[in-house]
Amino acid sequence: MAKTKLTVPLLCQEASAFAEVESTYPEPTLYGVTDGKAIGTYLEHKFRAHLDVKYTFTPSNSASGIDFPDLDVDMKVTAITQPQSSCPFKSARQKIFGLGDSLLVFVYEKTDDPKTNTAVLNIRHTVFVEERCTADFSMTKLVLKHLEVGCSVEDLVGLMHDKNLPVDDIEATRIAKELLEAPCKQGYLTISNALQWRLQYARVIGQAGKVDGIVKLR
């Protein structure tokens, strides 16, 4: 049977179906495992295998840095106890204008069963975050407030420095001029400065299904 080309709506549909089945599946290889990266890799590979049965899609590669480069979607897997993950740092602009791709986020709760020596990953939340919502919540909120009251380039540059955005004066000025021409969109992630961005998902979990662009799949 010929495979169908994967699209974003199909990806979301399959993520929901996969999460429902996976949430009751007893997995012996994860019993006693506490390494979040190992659990994330397991779930990512399993979901990719699930998709591969019916769909054609471009595989992830190190050049693109995201899981579904032809769809501009990156997959994130995180525990409910501390829903966050890392993300490649490309530019300070990401904190204001968004990451550049959408996010498919699986948030799991892991339980071990000593009677069967298996673990179950209950997928508590499955959320699709459209690219336009992937900037930092606090930074974009402050920028939009400044723009509302008629701020200057200097005001925006000062704000970026006050918030320790990792950017020099030249780039900050360039960003400020862009914002005065076309305001950024309100973001809903919490993005912490580091060598890699740290993305925190508590807000998008809470806003899923309530905010346009943040879709609650499960």
Q: Are 168 and 143 found together in one domain?
A: yes
pLDDT, residue 17, reads 95
For residue 176, the enclosing domain spans 137-181
Contact between 118 and 27 (Cβ < 8 Å): yes
Would 72 be classed as within a structural domain?
yes
Supply the CATH number for residue 22's domain. 3.40.210
Contacts of 112 (CB under 8 A, 6+ apart): 31, 32, 118, 119
pLDDT tens-digit readout, 16-42: 999 999 999 999 999 999 888 999 999
- Average pLDDT (70-83) is 93
Provide, for the chain, the percentages of residues in helix, strand and coil under a 3-state DSSP scheme, each rounded to the nearest 5. 40, 25, 40
160 shares a domain with 72? no
Co-location of 21 and 114 in the same domain: yes
Asked if 15 and 123 sit in the same domain, the reply is: yes
Tokens of 24: 């009751």
Asked if 120 and 146 sit in the same domain, the reply is no
Residue 187 in any domain: the answer is no
Write down the pLDDT at residue 197.
82
- Split into its structural domains, the chain has a count of 2
Residues 43 and 125 in one domain: yes
- Model pLDDT for residues 77-100, shown as the tens digit of each residue: 999 998 988 888 888 899 999 999
Residue 79 shares a structural domain with residue 12: yes
Neighbouring CB atoms inside 10 A of 115's CB total 6
How high is the pLDDT of residue 188? 95
Other C-beta atoms closer than 10 Å to the C-beta of 28 total 9
Report how far apart the first and last C-alpha atoms of the chain are (Å, whole number): 29
Specify if 88 maps to a domain: no
Do 208 and 109 share a structural domain? Answer: yes
In a domain, 71, yes or no: yes
141 in any annotated domain: yes
Evaluate whether residue 95 is within a structural domain. no
> CA-to-CA distance for 128 and 8, rounded, in angstroms?
10
CA dihedral 140, 191, 75, 125 (to 10 degrees): -90
- 11 with 50, same domain: the answer is yes
Residues 45 and 144 in one domain: no
Q: Are residues 141 and 126 in the same domain?
A: no
pLDDT at 195: 60
204/168 same-domain check: no
pLDDT tens for 145-193 read: 999 998 899 999 999 999 989 889 999 999 999 999 999 999 999 998 7
